[in-house]
Amino acid sequence: MPEAKRTATDVGSLSFEDALAELEQIVRGLESGQQKLEDAIAAYERGAALRRHCEAKLAEAQARVAVIVEQADGSLATRPME
Amino acid sequence: MDETRAAGNTPEYTVSEISGAVKRTLEGAFARVRVRGELTEVKRYPSGHIYFSLKDEGGKIAGIVWKSAVPRLGMVPENGVEVIATGRISAYGERSSYQLLVDRMEFAGAGALLARIEALRLRLLEEGLFEAARKRALPLLPRVIGVVSSERGAVIQDIRTTIARRFPRDVLLWPVPVQGEGAAERIAAAIAGFDAMAPGGAVPRPDVLIVARGGGSLEDLMAFNEEIVIRAAAACTIPLISAVGHETDTTLIDFVADRRAPTPTAAAEMAIPPRTELLAALAQTAARLAGGLGRLTQQCQLRLERAVRGLPDLPGLLGTARQRLDDRTERLDLALPGLLKLRRGAFALLSQRLSGALQQGMGRRQTAAGRVLARLSPAPLAALLREAAARLSGSGARLESVSPLAVLARGYALVTDPSGHPLTRAAAVAPGARLALRFADGSVAATADGKARGAARGPAQDDLLI
């Protein structure tokens, strides 16, 4: 049951792209009107969770500009750009 | 004796003296020179010095770049490239050979540069480095954007402001020199360095890379045409956008990049979509999600209602049956009297029609008899008689008109022999024959007194013709 497995995936761990793609898939499924009502409600609930996740991802808007610094031991560090 | 004479006129040098003298003369006469020629026999020694020859159609000269001069040389010598080498002439005393000591080297004009770039492009193309199948899609929403560029200058500022305007994201700059000696190596190392970062490490690994440089001359952009940079970009597993020079400039990194942007600003726009657009698209998708469920629920509701309507209405059915039974009972009660009444009515109607028919038949007969009696009268007979009388009188008149007697009345006379036979020909009358002339009112006896004259045509006729 790939459907059940997919549903079990934690929404929070999805990337924006994956969440958006799955949301789109759910919307298309609902719009086709072929699902059982029970499945449709479950799909809607998952869709709503995916939407919240996407919105949260879009809300994370931070603009830090850092400059890479190669340290003596070869490891990398950053310093803020002036 | 010749030798003695020669010795007398010509100064004698030791080998060292003459080679030293030549060296001094050469170095004094050609203090600093620029020599144009094609590089050949380029060899890099472990000592760090580079040995080569410069040649053209007519000659060849050896050259050296000392290790100390290599970093400031300006280019990496390669066989087959036409260059202008700057330096001085020097002789190598031990072998009495002279050579160029070069400290600057540049491509001999744009033609030479472009020829070298084109040769490299064809080689990498052959290798399949530029194939479309190698290109990767850019992520829709990168969390971190890596930039390989100069820390100073407009490029990083353009990228920063564009990203801040569209969708604020973390930007990681790997500062590199974008032109000059060692730039290509530093750029390649920066690309490889970003690629080598472990996901989830101390420094976040970028989801997309921008390799950018502002506009410049062909020579300024050369680092982005170097094989080491192209190979680093090709090997990089992070999707890479190139934005080198102005829109009209094309460098080899553009061929190997996953996307090519005309400017650094355009590269930033490719790397990140505008946040407002993403939010609007998400809102629309959310509306479709709710709409989809709403429609489905509505459909289910409708189907339920239809199904409910389809259930049999038992009390209703019973009521109908009851009503039908009552109806039949009532009609049964009424049926027999009704039938009798109907028959009686039919009988009365028939009786009526019978008597009516009899009267009508008699009436018709009387009328017909009347018509026959009226036609039975003497008038037609009288008419017939009148008609017969008229015809008779008509016939009498015609009979009269054709009677010979009537002709005689008009003055003609009928000639007969005495026995009364009519004589119709003159020849039949002999002279002295007895004739009878019959007139209308009686007969006169006559005698013929001449012979008949042969006149076929009667004189009467001649007379008529006169």
pTM score, whole prediction? 0.57
Q: How many CB pairs under 8 A join A and B?
A: 110
Give the whole-number percent of chain A exceeding pLDDT 70.
88
> Which residue shows structure tokens 């209405």?
B313
Interchain CB contact of A45 with B (< 8 Å):
no
pLDDT score for B161: 92
Average pLDDT over residues B292-313: 86
pLDDT of B105 over the 70 cut: yes
Interchain CB contact of A78 with B (< 8 Å):
yes
CA-CA distance, B110 to B116, in Å (whole number)? 10
Which tens digit of pLDDT belongs to each residue from B28-87? 888 889 999 999 999 999 999 999 999 988 899 999 999 999 888 888 888 888 899 999
- Do B73 and B66 form a contact (C-beta atoms < 8 A)? no
Which of A30, A65, A67 is the closest to B289 by Cβ? Answer: A30
Q: How confident is the model at residue A2 (pLDDT cuts 50, 70, 90)?
A: very low
Residue of A13, A27, A41, A70 for testing the chain B interface, max B β-carbons within 10 Å: A27
CA-CA distance, A22 to A29, in Å (whole number)? 10
CA-CA distance, B137 to B217, in Å (whole number)? 31
Contacts of A35 (CB under 8 A, 6+ apart): A29, A43, B296
Average pLDDT over residues B362-374: 83
pLDDT of B460 over the 50 cut: no
Q: How confident is the model at residue B462 (pLDDT cuts 50, 70, 90)?
A: very low
Residue of B156, B276, B278, B282 for testing the chain A interface, max A β-carbons within 10 Å: B282
Contact A26 B288 (CB under 8 A): no
Give the whole-number percent of chain B exceeding pLDDT 70.
95
pLDDT of A7 over the 80 cut: no
Among chain B residues, CA nearest to A27: B289
- Tokens standing for residue B133: 């199948």
pLDDT of B361 over the 90 cut: no
Which of A37, A47, A68 is the closest to B173 by Cβ? Answer: A68
- Closest residue by Cα to residue A55 from B322, B191, B451, B282: B282
Burial class for B371, CB neighbours closer than 10 Å (0-12, 13-18, 19+): exposed
Interchain CB contact of A5 with B (< 8 Å):
no
- Three-state SS at B102: strand
Average pLDDT over residues A21-46: 88
Q: How confident is the model at residue B3 (pLDDT cuts 50, 70, 90)?
A: low
**Cβ neighbours, 10 Å, residue B156:** 22
Contact B289 A26 (CB under 8 A): yes
- Closest residue by Cα to residue B206 from B157, B172, B249, B167: B172
pLDDT of B96 over the 50 cut: yes
Contact B296 A33 (CB under 8 A): yes
> Which residue shows structure tokens 């300006």?
B74
pLDDT of B409 over the 60 cut: yes
> Which residue shows structure tokens 């400017």?
B263
- Three-state SS at B374: helix
pLDDT score for B147: 96
Interchain CB contact of A19 with B (< 8 Å):
no
Q: Compare B151 and B74 and report the one with higher pLDDT.
A: B151
pLDDT score for B296: 86
Domains of chain B (ranges plus CATH)?
2-107 (2.40.50.140), 115-273 (3.40.50.261), 406-465 (no CATH)
Give the whole-number percent of chain B exceeding pLDDT 90.
37
Q: Strands of B1-32 (E only): list them.
A: none
pLDDT score for B2: 53
In B, which residues are within 8 Å of A29 by CB distance?
Answer: 292
Interchain CB contact of A62 with B (< 8 Å):
yes
pLDDT score for B459: 47
pLDDT score for B458: 45
Contact B275 A44 (CB under 8 A): no
